[in-house]
Amino acid sequence: MPDYDVVIIGGGAAGENLAGRTAPGGLSTVIVEAGLVGGECSYWACMPSKALLRPGEVMSAARANPAAAGGITGPVDAGRALRSRNAFANQWNDHHQAKWVESVGAHLVRGRARIVASKRVVVELAEGGTQEIEARKAVVVATGSHTAVPPIDGIEDVEPLKSRDITSLQRVPDSLVIVGAGAVGLEMAQAWRSLGTREVTVVGRETSRIEPFAMRIVREAFEEKGIRMIVGHEVVSVAKAPAGVVVTLDDGRKEDAEHIVLATGRHANTSGLGLESVGLDEGEFIEVDDSLRAKGVAGGWLYAVGDCNGRALFTHQGKYQARQAGDHILGKGTSAWAEGKGAGGVIFTDPQIAMVGLTERTARERGINVRALELGLDVAAKSLRGEGVRGGVKWVVDEDRGVLIGATFVGPEIGELLHSATIAIVGEVPLTTLWHATPSFPTMSELWLRFLEAYGM
């Protein structure tokens, strides 16, 4: 039976990043992967989805500028966009990712892993047979998540498209009903509409994770693009139809489409991992402490990083957790403390929504003495971007401590501003100090100056 210091179950972004800490750090490390090394982000999420979105975003930016708009003489080249997406996904071949694992000194075993005892894993090998592996120091679960299927009558009969399906389609669909108004639903609505889908409808409920003003601005932009948003309603049933599917909402109205797309949240990929052998529930998110060790497992040898622990379902946060867990296994005593205050993300619509920290509603629910300021994009850089530019910013301040605890930006390519807010929030930088950080003119960063002026600095 081979043994390693660290056994990582799952070779997606989180698993790779963890191996990139432990193996160069001197710990023998093996990744067990049943699918493609690189995982969701490389082949079905982050990169391919942005490849689908980018052509439409560029066209929109050019059309907003009167001097450039006349040069736009046709639609997005959908065929070329799909080929570009395929290239970003490396044609769904993980050869380069597998070579990277080797380059950091880690070993790769292809197969399905199952925990059978403390620090012991059995792998059903892809080529057949089984192999038992023992971990001297740690087993790390990094298996990610999958699309949650809501209890919609008839959904199993119509072969709904899930997140992997909608980002990897090889032709532009005629029409879509997308269930869910989160990042996946909004991004895919915009991507396929810009690539030529005739009719796109998004059905979803507003969430406390996104500030209402941000959703309002995106809804207005979507309406101009011909994307319908039905907010505050649910899909109750779906059935096959000659042209695809017919979707029935809770108010009785019916929507026809070629496909129904589920963008309805995520479930942990933890079924079949043998978690019951160590006292945990199969198919559930693995609860962890700030060292990323699984709670309720004696000995502190089991870790969980990325989507499978449910803390923050973003690729960049999974990588962050992997780095912290890897360093903890190396004995550095690190802790993933920043997630409770500064986990952020971008929804790459046009305009983009970039958010970090707490929303006003969440902060008030926690009993924080909050002052919130909602401002427009009142800086010179906005007018330089062209006509009809939509956007705004909401700032959430902890009045008792004089620090920013939440920020939401809406605007074209506004995600590039998010890290400045993340630094301010995670670093708990006092507003009195931020007042001395002068933004360059004319950049969108002047939004920080407008905020501090409005606050009364």
Q: According to the model, what pLDDT value does residue 400 have?
A: 98
Q: How confident is the model at residue 49 (pLDDT cuts 50, 70, 90)?
A: very high
**Residues 6+ away with beta carbon under 8 Å from 335:** 290, 291, 324, 328
Question: Which pair of tokens denotes residue 407?
Answer: 């920020």
Report all structural domains of the chain as residue ranges with CATH numbers, in order of start: 3-43+89-146+267-339 (3.50.50.60), 150-264 (3.50.50.60), 351-455 (3.30.390.30)
Q: According to the model, what pLDDT value does residue 376 have?
A: 96
**Mean per-residue pLDDT for 387-407?**
96
**pTM attached to this predicted model:** 0.95
**Mean per-residue pLDDT for 253-270?**
96
pLDDT digits (tens, 9 = 90+) for 309-336: 999 999 999 999 999 999 999 999 999 9
Q: According to the model, what pLDDT value does residue 1 have?
A: 64
Cα–Cα distance, 317 to 343 (Å, whole number): 7
pLDDT digits (tens, 9 = 90+) for 156-187: 999 999 999 999 999 999 999 999 999 999 99
Lowest mean pLDDT among 130-144, 153-167, 198-212, 353-367: 198-212
pLDDT digits (tens, 9 = 90+) for 15-33: 999 999 999 999 999 999 9
**Residue in 304, 314, 273 with CA at minimum distance from that of residue 15:** 304
pLDDT digits (tens, 9 = 90+) for 196-252: 999 999 999 877 689 999 999 999 999 999 999 999 899 999 999 998 999 999 999
**Mean per-residue pLDDT for 370-392?**
94
pLDDT digits (tens, 9 = 90+) for 101-118: 999 999 999 999 999 999
Question: Which pair of tokens denotes residue 121?
Answer: 């894993």
Lowest mean pLDDT among 19-33, 39-53, 328-342, 401-415: 328-342
β-pairing verdict for 130-141 and 199-204: unpaired
Q: According to the model, what pLDDT value does residue 416 have?
A: 95
Q: According to the model, what pLDDT value does residue 284 have?
A: 97
